[in-house]
A and B are shown apart, each in its own frame.
Chain A
């Protein structure tokens, strides 16, 4: 169904400032579509971002939004959720924002199993500052700060979140826009910490240096390396090399922080009455 854009977007702020063919608009649309299909109350939904290209997204979204400091979106969102647990809190972050400067906030929010939804606009690079490598730049890829190819191995953020105790982790790409929308829907519906690694193309700073000049080249690069989870589990480590699984990678249930906190408050209040 076509989206009613004026319900969810700040129409006066558009067109947005992202480059032609940038994937961030596709991920933003997937979030809006997921919110629409879930029927979330726009007055009870808050979108929080940090710094970077991804962080521009809440500026275009017609919700209560917060544009915070670099890497700290999850910290601000933690305050919102603990103060008002009835709100749906969605965090838009980038790969640099989430994995580098904000890495500790990410793992501790996952460990606490706080009911937040984190959507990482993962474009493999610091786009806003003209293309330095990030902790998610694939090994061997070129960036302004890796002119001979990236030496280091990248993070697998879904594995990091799962290892830290997060109860939901999923990955999809802008090529798979429908699947991306579906996993975001599932992430928002999940009770507990939910993380979505949304691969998004940066043709301007990543593609241009890596022989992926057009947005379509970059999206085909996502398609060629992505493997549905069922097929992934049957592949050998050699076959998995250079590829990644897409879909909902983990979904479990565990006590959620705002709920156990409310239980504690109630218990202490009852004790106080005795």
Chain B
């Protein structure tokens, strides 16, 4: 209740080709590149979708968590 972070970032490691564009385009440094992009600091995510819209592989999605979750 009110504790969960509002944005849920999911990386599909099977579709990701490790180009790193999501990490570069995130204006809040939420992501870092490991083997595949890793969500380093989810609390800083504002749901701007820059990572999702610049992913050439449909491999990263940012969803708003349902309030009841």
Contact = CB atoms under 8 A, between A and B. Distances in A.
Given A2-B62, A216-B24, A20 B17 contact: yes
Interface stretch (A40-48, A105-113, A173-181): A173-181
Contact of A5 (B24, B56, B58, B62): B58
A21 B21 contact: yes
B38 interface: no
A271 to B, nearest CB: 53
A16 B56 CA distance: 9
B54 A16 contact: no
Nearest to B23: A216
B55 A29 contact: yes
Interface size of B as a range: 20 to 34
Interface residues of A, number: 27
Given A15-B57, A26-B55, A2 B17 contact: no
Contacts of B49: 2
Nearest to B52: A2
A259 B3 CA distance: 56
Nearest to B59: A15
Interface in B1-31: 14-15, 17-21, 24
Given A2-B62, A3-B61, A21-B21, A26 B15 contact: no
Given A20-B17, A21-B17, A215-B19, A174 B52 contact: no
Contacts, number: 62
A23 B15 CA distance: 15
* Top 10 A-B pairs, shortest CB-CB distance: A25-B56, A21-B19, A20-B17, A177-B53, A15-B15, A2-B63, A20-B19, A2-B61, A216-B24, A26-B56
Interface string A203-223: 000000000000110010000
Interface in A1-60: 1-3, 5, 9, 14-16, 18-26, 29-30, 33
B53 A181 contact: yes
Interface centre among B52, B57, B61 (most CB of A within 10 A): B57
Given A2-B61, A23-B56, A216 B20 contact: yes
Contacts of B52: 2-3
A26 B53 contact: yes
A238 B53 CA distance: 34
A14 B52 CA distance: 16
